[in-house]
Amino acid sequence: MTISSSLNAGVAGLQANATRLASISDNIANSSTYGYKRVQTDFQSLVISSNGGTYSAGGVRASTERLIDQRGSLVSTSNATDLAVRGRGMLPVAQSSEVNAGNGSSQMYLTTTGSFRTDAQGVLRSDSGLVLMGWPALPDGTVPTFPRDTADGLEPVQINVNQFSGEPTTQISLGLNLPATDTDADSTGDVQYLSVEYFDNLGTSENINISFTPTVPATGASNEWTVQMTDSALDGAVIGEYVLTFDDSRAAGGTLASVVTTTGGAYDPATGSIVINAEGGPLEINIGQLGNSDGLTQLSDNFAPVSISKDGSPVGNMTNVEVDANGFVTAFFDTGISQTVYQIPLVDLPNPNGMVALDQQTYLPSPESGSFFLWNAGDGPTGDIVSYAREESAVDVAGELTAMIQTQRAYSSNAKVIQTVDEMLQETTNIKR
């Protein structure tokens, strides 16, 4: 019985070390595979209770575990949509075959890195057939609220490289100086003109034409101007008229003292803005707060537009896309504007090593890994997303070669045990002779 148990233990040792050698060979074979997670083999002894001073060998059992939470180093690339996770969390992806089938929501797989490029339909996918998943943004660039404990809101990230985009102008800020001498009694009362370009809802260029007419008194100085605004999209129709009075005191000389509305939206002294109704909708024009010099002023004898700023842009072509550290996919256009089109969350689980490992460095959540949660990158326990980067294999070749030597020696020793048991059994057989 004791000799027989020695033989069984030797066979178990051969099997366990063969398993360890298989994991080592797999690790070495994938030492250059981006995102590969090394497999670790552990041994557990099997103990059979002994009675009466005799001992029976129980042997050994091998168990393997893929260390998914062990990360490799990051390397730089030249592709903006080469992505890697720096820290905890994983990227959601789907198999391109499932996406192409179009049978509803695709199964969510997880990976820590990938080289994604647009295909013929503009979908970001890797050479191995993994499609990057994310939450779509609204036309204004905001990302709505999606459930975080399910993958139902995720969609394939699709970049329309032929996309045109323009933003309508909704706000204009005027910074200019009106000549104080034009409101004197001896002034000629010349009208000052200013034209401000804006973009309508279709990206077409239009103009708000503004005239400043001074009030010339019989004596002294009025410090008063009548401002009239017309819209080129409405064939020059008046959309706002206001009477501006400027302060001439020592403390606040040259700043707005009052704004009286004749037609158009009322002046808001809290914000220093008026809202006029242009052809495409409301348009907020900031002329400055009362007593402040950050908008319209009346000083000296020069008409000087100091600064005119506005939002909106004409229609432009998409030039490229990038993914920032928080997972927002931003499209850039040749007009200088940018727009958020998707947000890529990071998926986290209590036990990443409990996931089911599949081909192409992808993993599936399982009961052993726990329930997943979709975080904003850089939020909660997750790290951030690094673009222009890939994650290298987590394999240390030198360490694997050292483990291979140890495994080879252990395998040879177990084979020697079997050979010794065979010789002992042969001696037992010879006793009969």
Residue 401 pLDDT: 95
Residues 220 and 157 in one domain: no
Residue 409's pLDDT band, with cuts at 50, 70 and 90, is very high
Residues 59 and 87 in one domain: no
- Per-residue pLDDT tens digits for 239-251: 999 999 999 999 9
- Per-residue pLDDT tens digits for 412-430: 998 998 888 888 888 888 8
Tokens of 300: 């000296």
Q: Looking at residues 169-188, what average pLDDT do you find?
A: 94
Q: Which residue has the higher pLDDT, 165 or 197?
A: 197
Residue 93's pLDDT band, with cuts at 50, 70 and 90, is very high
Residue 49's pLDDT band, with cuts at 50, 70 and 90, is low
Q: What residue type is assigned to position 417 of the chain? A: V
Residues 99 and 146 in one domain: yes
Range of the domain at 138: 74-165+316-391
Give the 3-state secondary structure of 333-375.
ECCCCEEEEEECCEEECCCHHHCEEEHHHEEECCCCCCCCEEE
CA angle, corner 85, sides to 84 and 90, nearest 5? 110
Residues 47 and 101 in one domain: no
Pairing between β-strand 113-115 and β-strand 82-86 as defined by DSSP bridges:
antiparallel
How far is Cα of residue 138 from the mean position of the Cα atoms in its chain? 15
Q: How far is CA 294 from CA 253, 256, 286, 301, 307, in A?
A: 13, 10, 10, 18, 10
Whole-angstrom distance, CA of residue 238 vs CA of residue 217 = 25
Residues 94 and 63 in one domain: no
Q: What residue type is assigned to position 196 of the chain? A: V
Residues 220 and 144 in one domain: no
Residue (of 234, 333, 247, 336) closest to 290 by Cα position: 247
Whole-angstrom distance, CA of residue 90 vs CA of residue 97 = 21
Give the 3-state secondary structure of 147-166.
CCCCCCCCEECECCCCCEEE
Whole-angstrom distance, CA of residue 283 vs CA of residue 296 = 18
Within a 13 Å sphere around the CA of 237, how many CA atoms are in the beta-carbon half?
Answer: 10
Residue 187 pLDDT: 93
> Helix or strand or coil: residue 52?
coil
How many Cβ atoms from other residues are within 10 Å of residue 385's Cβ? 24
Residues 276 and 379 in one domain: no
Residues 178 and 292 in one domain: yes
pLDDT value at 203 more than 90: no
Tokens of 176: 């200019």
pLDDT value at 1 more than 60: no
- Per-residue pLDDT tens digits for 340-353: 999 999 999 999 99
Residue 40 pLDDT: 94
Residues 292 and 178 in one domain: yes
Write the CB contacts of 50 (distance below 8 Å, at least 6 apart in sequence).
56
Residues 345 and 413 in one domain: no
pLDDT value at 75 more than 90: yes
Q: Which range is most confident: 34-38, 99-103, 317-321?
A: 34-38
- Domain containing residue 305: CATH number: 2.60.98.20
Q: Looking at residues 228-238, what average pLDDT do you find?
A: 94
Residues 400 and 323 in one domain: no
Q: Which of 256, 277, 311 is the last residue of a domain?
A: 311
Report how many domains make up the chain: 3
- Per-residue pLDDT tens digits for 132-170: 999 999 877 899 999 999 998 999 999 876 556 668 899
- Per-residue pLDDT tens digits for 105-134: 789 999 999 999 998 888 999 999 999 999
Residue 2 pLDDT: 72
How many Cβ atoms from other residues are within 10 Å of residue 52's Cβ? 4
Q: How far is CA 431 from CA 5, 7, 326, 417, in A?
A: 21, 20, 78, 21
Whole-angstrom distance, CA of residue 407 vs CA of residue 413 = 10
Residue 51 pLDDT: 66
Residue 332's pLDDT band, with cuts at 50, 70 and 90, is confident
List, as one string, the DSSP characters of 101-140: HT-SSPPPEEESEEE-EE-TTSBEE-TTSEEEEEEEPPTT
Residues 277 and 176 in one domain: yes
What is the average pLDDT score of the chain?
A: 90
